[in-house]
Amino acid sequence: MNRTIKDAMVKTYHYDNLHSLKTQVLVFVTAYNFGKYLKTLQWWPPWQGICGAWAKDQSKFRANPHRFILGPYT
């Protein structure tokens, strides 16, 4: 991971100060971690992952997750 950050950040961009470097690294690490999370959900949004899990095995849930979708008439 450290090598990935170094290759993506330090060699590509020039930073005027330390604060801009820290900001860019934080954005990169956040995107990297979120991408890993989405990969475990097979690139589905979290809500679609929950609905897909409910469709496979309904015994793990107390209620139908589709009931909790906010809409214009709720």
Residues 5 and 21 in one domain: yes
Q: Which residue has the higher pLDDT, 15 or 56?
A: 56
Number of domains in the chain: 2
Res. 9 pLDDT band, cuts 50 70 90? low
Q: Is 50:41 a contact under the CB 8 Å cutoff?
A: no
Q: Report how far apart the first and last C-alpha atoms of the chain are (Å, whole number).
A: 45
Residues 33 and 6 in one domain: yes
| CA atoms of 27 and 5, how far apart (whole Å) | 11
Which residue matches tokens 């709720």? 74
Query: What's residue 32's pLDDT?
Result: 81
Residues 45 and 68 in one domain: yes
Residues 7 and 27 in one domain: yes
Structural domain boundaries, residue 45: 41-74
Query: What's residue 36's pLDDT?
Result: 76
Which residue matches tokens 């956040």? 30
Residues 35 and 1 in one domain: yes
DSSP count for the chain of H helices, then E strands: 3, 0
Q: Is 13:24 a contact under the CB 8 Å cutoff?
A: yes
